[in-house]
Structure 1
Amino acid sequence: MSSAAALHAVPLGTVEVLREIDEALDRLPHGDVVGAADASAALSMADKVITRLQAVRLSLVAEADRSEVASESGMTGTGAWLAACTRRDGSQAARDVRLATALDNGLDATREALAAGAVSTEHAQVIATATAQLPEGLDATERTAIETALVRRAKLVDPGTLRRDGRRALAAVERSQAEVDAHEDQVLRTQEDEALAKSRLTWHQNGDGTTSGHFTLPTLAAAILVKTVQHVASPRRFAQQAAKAARAAGATTAAEAADATWDAFRAADGDWAHRYGSAFVELLEHLPTDTLSGKVAATVVVTVDHEQLKASLGAAHLDTGHDLSASEARRLACNAGIVPAVLGGRSVPLDLGRQERFFTEAQRVALATVYDTCAAEGCDRPYAWSELHHEDPWASGGHTDLALAVPLCGHHHRRAHDPRYWHRVDTDAHGKKSVIYSRRS
């Protein structure tokens, strides 16, 4: 990347001034502050300086975008150029470019307040978003009045409060209560739709018995999850347990018990992530599945030999293809949302002849002891995802019997009923089936 290309549009003297600021910071004394007043004054000044520098940075980003520095450097866009220049995350660089261009395209009051250190970049982002969401039909004077009102408000409140004010920004130009309410409703519904569209859940097996994951959820759904996990983790229950332990350790007075409880809290301060993780595990293991349309399809089926279960020794098998200890399977067998398929245990009628059109939950559980995956040759989709196919079509007189059930993933089940494909079902000596497909000529 050419430094000349990167800097040719920077206003004269900018680099020199920034270099002087950098050198001045080297002279900054370090050490303990004298008191709260000194700390408050220093923090306020530090925030103001940081904000003003951020304003300079955003103005440079806007200038770089106007000058098409990225194309001169062979980059795909200003965001990619910025990420490369600053060694920052690409998504954050893209957000910076969007804010910089928004400030450079009509948000004069916001840009000036940011440059003066009167509002933060978080406030500026809220104002940029709120003004972009304004309804059509507003003239330039009204838009300027709304921006000015939001900047004035930003000097008094935090970004979260300002965000709520921004949804009702039409009040600043004396629009009717109905119009203000309608706009707020539209903004919220759009935000909710976009949040749902962004929902993601990914996970990765680490190979050491753990799985790591990442989720993006609408804030409401995340709030429900967090509140539930915190309830299960129960800080109040933790306090009660700590107080009980303190008394057992010899605390004789309420003050001693309180001190011991507080010590336990401080000792556990760095361990709350683990406590929340354990609470999340407990929550998942107790999810109710009795109202789902297909209970076993969404429930873990644990297969274990009866003798191993009694002895809590050996390994159990899940219909997701994983193994776990028999003792863990024994614990899970007590929980809701877990279907234990105990080999050698009490039998369940599984051959239903022509009386039933669809395979039952008991039949699905039974097949989980035989199959790990879809029965199609070469398919590795787990059995838990499968649909039960009649080897002899029920519509042609076939029976809904266990021996005629073939677990197929959705893709291969559709192919089994696709007239463009021919398939053959092979059954081995243990009754396990394999389906082979070929395209009809």
Structure 2
Amino acid sequence: MLDALEQAEAAVAACFDTASWAADEHDIVAALDAAHRLEQRLAAVKLSLVRELDGRGTATAQGASSTAVWLRDRLRLGVGAARRLVELAATLDAAPAGVRDALAGGSVTVEQVRVIADTVEIVHSAAGAEAADKAVGLLVDWAAQFDAALLRRLGTRILDHVAPDVADAADEAALRAQESRAARDRHITISEQTDGRLRLAGILDTEAAAALRAAIDPLTTPTGPDDTRTPAQRRHDALADICRLALRTGELPETGGDPAQLVVTTTYDGLARQLGVGALDTGLQLTAEAVRRLACDAAILPAVLGGAGQALDVGRQRRLISGPLRRALVLRDGGCAFPGCDRPPRWCDGHHIRHWADGGDTSLANAVLLCGHHHRHVHHGDWAVRLGRDGHPEFIPPAWLDPEQVPRRNHYHRRR
């Protein structure tokens, strides 16, 4: 074997030194196919050697704690890759002869072998040895057409082909097992960072995942050509919008006898002059700009303090744009009024064109519907908002975007 491998190594080295640019396209494609087959055949040889060394205990005899650790040092592999090599060698050793022959013949890849072995084991448990033998032949045939990922997907329905009489019962049992695993593994971990941000991690079960996607996907599409957020940032903002919508419904369970709500505390002078900071009821601080933006939201409970810190308005929910006024605003704007945005009214806040802390009144003539993203954009950016002569909102872009500053409107929502 060693002599044959040394000859193969020399042949491969000679191939590498051959200039491929001189060959025609047909020969290059044929050479690629041949190199791929050779790679799989060498993988079969390598796995058989690893399995033999593991069975002999060579690694522990040479002072290593395991075969994987020995391979890591001997072949300069990452420890994860070394472990996978040992596991795959064991899988190949236990696989049906047809699978090993297919890998040795170069007709399947190493990853396909893993998929075939896993699938055949499931078939054997569900339908017996005869069905498992049929599955081997079918899967090897499929491997000539499909990659490992698609082969695994096809394998989930293989009982329909090799043992149709038990397929339905096996599928139902597999689904129950999957649901049980999902229920067991479901979790959300919330880790608070030192600056008040949260890190979320977890696994959702199938039902919760479907609900989250149904809620979040419509909100993660870019809102227009000026939307420079990354996909991850859009998902973040969509989750925040969903939370704001839930708070606005008033249907969340009470906490301590009060409705679920966001409480922001600030001084009136700081709010009116855009100076100072605001404080959340968690003790964390917000900029004055963020406080002014949050104050536009009808679901905010302001706790405004006078100059000496006296409570001027605590515990009275200020739905600044609500009831008939909000309904009129929805009828007029039809959704987020920012140019090019398609967000519906339920995802929008009522924004004061002239902030109420600056003396702006709460009226249809001083309000516009904005989704969460564009509400932040208007507060943080250089866009100006006004009502046109027909009473509909129009937005003045900043000079750096449009030197002419031609007013723009949202033409997505049909005007009533």
Shared fold per TM-score greater than 0.5: yes
1:194 aligned onto 2:149: no
Kept in 1, the 8 Å contact 2:192–2:199? The answer is: yes
Q: Which residue of 2 aligns with 1:52?
A: 41
Q: Which residue of 1 aligns with 2:265?
A: 304
Shift of 1:102: 1.5
Give the letter aligned to residue 331 of structure 1.
R
Decide whether aligned partners of structure 1 residues 119 and 319 sit closer, same or farther in structure 2, where only a CA change above 3 A counts: farther
Q: CA RMSD in A?
A: 4.4
Kept in 1, the 8 Å contact 2:126–2:170? The answer is: no
Kept in 2, the 8 Å contact 1:299–1:338? The answer is: no
CA distance in 1, matches of 2:100, 2:284: 56
Q: Which residue of 1 aligns with 2:235?
A: 280
1:331 aligned onto 2:293: yes
Kept in 2, the 8 Å contact 1:306–1:345? The answer is: no
After superposition, what is the alpha-carbon deviation per residue over 1:208-250, rounded to whole angstroms, capped at 9, x for unaligned? 8877665555577667656765543325x54xx37xxxxxxxx
1:148 aligned onto 2:148: no
Identify which of 292, 304, 314 aligns with 1:347. Answer: 314
Shift of 1:119: 1.9
CA distance in 2, matches of 1:101, 1:321: 56
Matches within 5 A, 1:133-212: 133-134=122-123, 136=125, 138-176=127-165, 179-195=166-182, 197-199=184-186
Q: Identify the range of structure 1 (56-65 vs 196-205) with the bigger mean alpha-carbon deviation.
A: 196-205
1:233 aligned onto 2:220: yes
Using the aligned pairs only, state the percent identity. 31
Decide whether aligned partners of structure 1 residues 191 and 116 sit closer, same or farther in structure 2, where only a CA change above 3 A counts: farther
Aligned length: 305
Decide whether aligned partners of structure 1 residues 277 and 71 sit closer, same or farther in structure 2, where only a CA change above 3 A counts: same
Shift of 1:341: 5.1
Shift of 1:305: 0.9
Q: Which residue of 2 aligns with 1:404?
A: none
Kept in 1, the 8 Å contact 2:20–2:28? The answer is: no
Give the letter aligned to residue 232 of structure 2.
G
CA distance in 2, matches of 1:104, 1:298: 63
Kept in 2, the 8 Å contact 1:303–1:340? The answer is: yes
Decide whether aligned partners of structure 1 residues 197 and 153 sit closer, same or farther in structure 2, where only a CA change above 3 A counts: same
- Using structure 2 for the length normalisation, give the TM-score: 0.57
1:27 aligned onto 2:17: yes
CA distance in 2, matches of 1:43, 1:185: 43
Kept in 2, the 8 Å contact 1:167–1:183? The answer is: no
Where in structure 2 are there 5+ consecutive unaligned residues? Answer: 306-310, 317-416
Kept in 2, the 8 Å contact 1:48–1:117? The answer is: yes
Shift of 1:105: 0.8
Shift of 1:329: 3.6
Give the letter aligned to residue 154 of structure 1.
A
